[in-house]
Amino acid sequence: MNTAEREERYGAAEKFVDWLARYVADDARGTANPQSSVDPRGAYWLGRLAPLVEIAASPLGDRAERLEPCAVGFRSLPKDGPIAFKATVTFVVWARSAQSWTKSLPVRVEVPVELPDEVGEREWGRAELAAALAAVAPNSGLAAFIQTELSRTSDGKRELTIELVNDSDPDHANAASHAKGRLFECGLAVVDLATEDYLLEDLPDSFRYDRRVAAWGLNCGVERIQGGFETNDLPTFEKHRPVYWTVDDDRPDLTFDTLARDPVPQLSALHASLVAWGKRAWSVEAIRASTPSWSDDLEREVLAEAEAFRAECARIRAGIDLLNDDETLARAFKAMNAAMKISADGKYDQWRPFQVGFMLANLVSCIGGDQDITDIVWFSTGGGKTETYLGIILTAAFYDRLTGKTTGITAWSRFPLRLLSLQQTQRFANALAGAERVRIDMRIRGDAFSLGFLVGSGATPNDVKTKSPWDPDDIGMPDRIRMLKVCPFCRQDSIKMSFDFGLWRVDHRCTNEVCPWDRAKPLPIHVVDTEVWRVLPTVVVGTLDKAAGIALQANMRGMIAEPSGFCPRAGHGHTYATRANRPQGCLVPDCTEPRGPLPMAEDRYAVGFRLQDELHLLRDSLGAVDAHYEALYDDLQQTLSGRRPKILASSATLSGYRRQSDVLYGREARVFPHPEPKAGQGFWSGTSPEAMRKYLAVAPRGQTIEYALDRMIVSLQTAIRRLIADPTALAAEIGIDAHHIDFLVRYYGTDVIYGNTLRDLDAVVRSGETQWEDVPSPRPRVASLTGRTMFTDVIETLEELESPKDDFADRTHVVVGSSMMSHGVDIDRLNVMVMLGLPLTTAEFIQATARVGRTWPSLVFVVHKIARERDASVYRSFRQFVDQGDRFVEPIPITGNSRRVLERTIAGLAFARMLMLHEPRAGGSLALTRKVRDYLAKAPGFEAAEIDAVCETLRFDDESNPTLRGEVEKWYHHLVAEVQDPANAGEFANSLGLYGGPMMSLRDVEEQVEVWGRDPS
């Protein structure tokens, strides 16, 4: 698709999105329906007002007004001088006749208002509205008026509230024939009212945001119109797509070709533009001129932030200087760019400037620098963070190979959710395949660049064993763990899965005869834990949970240091601690070959990088537990290999990132890019005219959320079926060319229903079976992506969403998703979302809504559970909540100093040290208690030394954490006593801990209980 075609399609999509939003709203209001077979109270759930007397008498109090308001309007700050304006009220009335209901023509009444400068409430237009209602619904008991209230704010300013109030009598004799006094399709507009803006509270970073608010809606949204305001049933905010070059300077050539050939001149030009922009943008005078309520404190804050920006510039300059001064690093950087060109496969041919900036700022970490700093990339979702990571990783991998690291892990990338690791696997594989092709061309010695997949056993095997869920005799077993959709070398769906009994290996093999990979070999991807440890792939991706394995598997040593040896039999790989079933430590079953020497120096095995995607998800108990394991991994790698890894991370929030990094990693933290002085006006990104996401706040009136959600799905799915049934007429209605209809059906025919609880999502699935009959054929097909969805079903659903079936009837039309879906789902076809209630955190709201609109304009309907205070508060300030969401992200709740957390982690910390440090010293297994007892007899001072070591690892000391140190001492006293007890001689030592054995997963944070079943016979 060329640029002109894309722009034409994008314009059509923008018009369609606007039309679709109106279509849903009109259905909810009943705008297009002159008649109804049912009481409109049971059909229409937007734009309606209940009688004042009914709401006032409700036992629900304020919640009654939120659930079904009796008034809509807004608050504003009138300018000094007389207050005079014209208010226009609009609504319709429904009346029952015989077996049906008929809607009146729209009622429109203009009321001039001249308000005295006196505090108090006043009514206006009661007579005019009574006359208009009598004309369309005589003897109905219907009534309405405009109410104003003039008051004073805390700083003495005049504040004016203007509302349309329904004052109908719900007990009138004819009320039942007029929807019990309801008014429908209500609106209020005011013109000729001169106002000034509200100013949001002055918070840290306030200078970056536009704090002005023209008016506050009351039970509705409020929009500016020519000379005034009007109410809106769906408060709306539109985010625009970012652009990645925002200055007038000539854009440097950041194509892969140029950077693979001669990078420094173009990188220097990028740095020069950044510095010049910074001088203008970070000028105190310029910021003061555009910032209301300037203060000395604000000026000091700006100066400090400007200094942090200059430090970022210096880091980028230092990266360029490294490329000038270090020939090997420059060669690795060029090779990485050549690899990324292959990986991109023609979809793109250059870096975005921010990606290059991050790589340059962190280039020193490829040669072992900045290990004591956590570097966090903070950029909008969809901006290319994964590729940025890959640029750093591939540069480090090439540098490793060029400097003698011929095998072993360069980076371990961990994801909090399995869906993230699954989605990223193909992208990582593609990049590593490109790197491997370059490595071969450059004749760089060493193992092939390879990828390992390390997740829970529910997705891929810990090991392949007979008579297990991963039985090699099961011919379908390999297909169940296929982790790649296409071959990363030729990009064809040509992968055949098989099991190699000779090498005890699950193989992904490409069958494409013209694939550039040597088809005699399996693809360099390893999805079984034991294979990962044998091969030690260049990059390992997986879930965070697997970090717990270091206390359970001696083989995890390969993730932090050198293995015990290398099996001389071809294809068997590295060896580890001996066990009864592997006398020489080889992980291939029945291998008895004496282990050989390692293929490279021991000190090169240390992992160079630990990457943490979606850092903000490491919170609460998961974050606290991980903090202990991160400290453990750091300490063990430092002890065994002499250095800690570099930590790179991405996060959706900057709130509390320094403290989070300190708790998790014991490191200072930096963020890139440094936040710009004006939000949306940075050097690395700015705002384009193209719409990206239209957010609409939905507060159902007089109906349940479940009913409103069902009707929205019916409206959305009906709209698409109308496109299919009559494309010419619908194209004319939307205002686009009919040849775009197939495109719109493809990219807007699937709706995402995002829920916060599985109970809510289960209700949606049930509703699909009974409540969506009004959707024209074909019946909507529903798929689920929640924590309960089987791994194989997740893969199948994602593939179907990315590559839909040709027949619309066979496609997935509705995806029901939970927080599992809030990260890592990057599918261009998802462009309509209905969010069922606000997520618990703002960060989740930002991440979840970013699942739609990745490439095309999108709609996000946020259905508020309006009876809840938080939802009601966000509804009132919806525009600001969406626009300035980063300001409202809650600090990450996390602590490593918790006794309950220590109770869960202490066994893992202790037995990981036993496996990684003491077993090699003992010269044999310390799994059984009697072996440990014998070892302790030869290791006086073991208990005291271990207590000190664990407390030092966790940064517990006598002054700041005496209680926690006491807990460590108590645990070790108990363990040593149990080990010395002869009755325990045959037990596994790791079962003797005071609080049980090591965690199986980092998510096992709750106390474990045994569940016993009763034999029904």
Domain ranges of the chain: 3-21+691-888, 47-232, 256-463+528-563+598-672, 464-527, 571-597, 899-991
Q: How far is CA 187 from CA 46, 144, 530, in A?
A: 11, 12, 66
Cα end-to-end span (Å), the chain = 67
Residues 6 or more apart whose CB falls under 8 angstroms from that of 248 comprise: none
How far apart are the C-alpha atoms of 981 and 970, rounded to whole Å? 17
The helix (run of H) or strand (run of E) holding residue 185 is strand 184-191
Q: How far is CA 65 from CA 513, 808, 873, in A?
A: 69, 43, 14
How far apart are the C-alpha atoms of 498 and 704, rounded to whole Å? 52
Q: Mean pLDDT lowest for which of 278-287, 432-441, 711-720, 814-823?
A: 814-823
Quick one: pLDDT at residue 679? 84
Q: By CB neighbour count within 10 A (0-12 exposed, 13-18 middle, 19+ buried), where does 250 fall?
A: exposed
Mean pLDDT of the chain: 92
Instruction: Report helix, strand or coil for 89.
Output: strand
What average pLDDT does range 531-546 have in this prediction? Answer: 92
For residue 105, what is the DSSP state?
P
Task: State which fold the 3-21+691-888 domain adopts.
Answer: Rossmann fold (3.40.50)
What average pLDDT does range 3-26 have in this prediction? Answer: 96
Percent of the chain with pLDDT over 90: 75
pTM, to two decimals: 0.88
How far apart are the C-alpha atoms of 252 and 259, rounded to whole Å? 11
How far apart are the C-alpha atoms of 950 and 945, rounded to whole Å? 9
Report helix angle 705-725 to 758-770, nearest 10.
50
How confident is the model over 964-995, as pLDDT tens digits? 999 999 999 999 999 999 999 888 999 999 99
What average pLDDT does range 90-99 have in this prediction? Answer: 93
Quick one: pLDDT at residue 796? 86
How confident is the model over 160-201, as pLDDT tens digits? 999 999 999 999 999 999 999 999 999 999 999 999 999 887
Does this chain's domain 3-21+691-888 share its CATH topology with 256-463+528-563+598-672? yes
Instruction: Give which of 270, 272, 271 is closest to 252, Cα–Cα.
Output: 270
Angle CA(309)–CA(209)–CA(693) in degrees, nearest 5? Answer: 105
Q: Mean pLDDT lowest for which of 279-288, 788-797, 866-875, 984-993?
A: 788-797
Decide if 232 contacts 188 (C-beta within 8 A): no
If one compares 295 and 726, the residue with the highest pLDDT of the two is 726
How confident is the model over 423-480, as pLDDT tens digits? 678 889 999 999 999 999 999 999 999 999 988 655 567 888 877 778 888 888 888 8
Sign of the torsion formed by the C-alpha atoms of 570, 574, 580 and 584: positive
Angle CA(830)–CA(831)–CA(834) in degrees, nearest 5? Answer: 95
How would residue 1013 be classed by pLDDT, with cut points 50, 70 and 90?
A: low
How confident is the model over 555-597, as pLDDT tens digits? 999 999 999 999 999 999 999 999 988 999 999 999 999 999 9
Instruction: Give which of 254, 543, 255, 241 is closest to 381, Cα–Cα.
Output: 241
Quick one: pLDDT at residue 824? 67
Quick one: pLDDT at residue 607? 96
At 109, give phi and psi (nearest 5°).
Answer: -130, 130
- Binning the chain into helix, strand and coil, the percentages to the nearest 5 are 40, 20, 40
DSSP-H helix ranges across 443-584: 477-480, 529-535
How far apart are the C-alpha atoms of 885 and 239, rounded to whole Å? 12
SS (H, E, C) 223-250: EEECCEEEEECCCEEEEEEEECCCCCCC
How would residue 1014 be classed by pLDDT, with cut points 50, 70 and 90?
A: low
Q: Mean pLDDT lowest for which of 382-391, 513-522, 909-918, 924-933?
A: 382-391
How would residue 343 be classed by pLDDT, with cut points 50, 70 and 90?
A: very high
How far apart are the C-alpha atoms of 506 and 470, rounded to whole Å? 11
Quick one: pLDDT at residue 600? 96
Decide if 660 contacts 612 (C-beta within 8 A): no
Q: How far is CA 581 from CA 585, 588, 589, 654, in A?
A: 9, 10, 8, 49
Quick one: pLDDT at residue 425? 84
pLDDT at 650 over 70: yes
Decide if 449 contacts 400 (C-beta within 8 A): no
Quick one: pLDDT at residue 354? 95
Quick one: pLDDT at residue 1010? 56
- 256-463+528-563+598-672 has CATH 3.40.50.300 classification: yes
How would residue 754 be classed by pLDDT, with cut points 50, 70 and 90?
A: very high
Tokens for 453? 């997949």
pLDDT at 293 over 80: no
How confident is the model over 30-64, as pLDDT tens digits? 999 999 999 999 999 999 999 999 999 999 888 89
SS (H, E, C) 255-324: EHHHHHHCHHHHHHHHHHHHHHHHHHHCCHHHHHHCCCCCCHHHHHHHHHHHHHHHHHHHHHHHHHHHHH
Query: From the CB of residue 5, how many other CB atoms can be counted at a distance below 10 Å?
Result: 9
Decide if 413 contacts 424 (C-beta within 8 A): yes
How far apart are the C-alpha atoms of 768 and 291, rounded to whole Å? 51
How far apart are the C-alpha atoms of 518 and 541, rounded to whole Å? 24
pLDDT at 759 over 90: no
Quick one: pLDDT at residue 457? 55
Q: How far is CA 435 from CA 443, 519, 584, 814, 893, in A?
A: 12, 18, 34, 38, 39
Quick one: pLDDT at residue 921? 94
Sign of the torsion formed by the C-alpha atoms of 6, 11, 15 and 21: positive
Single-letter residue type at 209: Y
Residue indicated by tokens 């606290």: 624
Decide if 12 contacts 740 (C-beta within 8 A): yes
For residue 183, what is the DSSP state?
B
pLDDT at 1007 over 60: no
pLDDT at 519 over 70: yes
Quick one: pLDDT at residue 582? 92
Percent of the chain with pLDDT over 70: 97
Strand pairing class (686-698; 858-863): parallel
